[in-house]
Structure 1
Amino acid sequence: MPVEITDWDPSEYLDDEESIRAYLNAAFEDGDPKLIASAIGDVARARGMTQIARETGFAREALYRALSGTGNPELGTVIGVLKSLNMTVRVEPIERQVAGASDF
């Protein structure tokens, strides 16, 4: 009997503020720009891409393209979408480990 595999869509599980924040923070911590764009796209789809498009003034189709795993959104697009999601990006210092004796 063959195994049936279905696509997993994270936007189906992003249904509260806490899970959305954790999801986006994990993407930003990873640091991969494609993953970050895709994660923002997942959240936008969970909230409703048509509504996000209206609020940002960007075309819905352009948002789908830019916020996909192969997209490359401009910073203005990312900021606009995050703002419409009532979120922002903050800059914090990276905590570095202190070199131990074994590092010499």
Structure 2
Amino acid sequence: MKKIAVFDAADYLDNDVVIAEYLNAALEDENPNVFLQAIADVAKARGMTKLAKDTGLGRESLYKALAPGAKPRYDTIIKLVRALGVELHTSPAHAGQA
């Protein structure tokens, strides 16, 4: 019987460009839980202990904020995104329309 390894996105999030693209792809999904899961994957790849230190939040608080179905506060998300070394930007959804 063959063993199949469980896919873990965090195993592939090894540089800033890949991380930014991964988060951008997650933002395209209408389900906000997809973006939260993507942040959780990046947090795991970077290390929760380091992220807790960089954000000033406790590890337990981070796990709760990134748990499936969680509704983290805006300021928590901003702290996480900045600590992960990425920026969020907006652009017109339909270029050329006023």
Tell me the equivalent position of 1:7.
Answer: 6
Once the two structures are TM-superposed, the CA of residue 4 in structure 1 deviates from its matched residue by 4.3
Per mean C-alpha deviation after superposition, the further-off stretch among 59-68 and 36-45 is 59-68
Tell me the equivalent position of 2:94.
Answer: 95
Q: Is the 8 A contact 1:34 1:70 kept in 2?
A: yes
Describe the SS at the equivalent of 1:30: coil
Higher radius of gyration, 1 or 2: 1
| 4+ residue runs over 6 A deviation | none
**2:28 is equivalent to residue 29 of structure 1:** yes
- Give runs of aligned pairs for residues 23-102 of structure 1, distance below 5 A: 23-95=22-94
* Letter matched to residue 30 of structure 1: D
Once the two structures are TM-superposed, the CA of residue 70 in structure 1 deviates from its matched residue by 2.5
| Gapped regions of structure 1 (runs ≥ 5) | 99-104
Q: Deviations over 1:59-94 (max 9, x none)?
A: 111111211333221111110011111212112110
Between the aligned partners of 1:6 and 1:83, the Cα distance in structure 2 is: 32
Q: Normalising by structure 2, report the TM-score.
A: 0.85
Describe the SS at the equivalent of 2:28: helix
Between the aligned partners of 2:26 and 2:35, the Cα distance in structure 1 is: 5
Q: Is the 8 A contact 2:14 2:45 kept in 1?
A: yes
* Letter matched to residue 76 of structure 1: D
| Gapped regions of structure 2 (runs ≥ 5) | none
How many equivalent residue pairs? 96
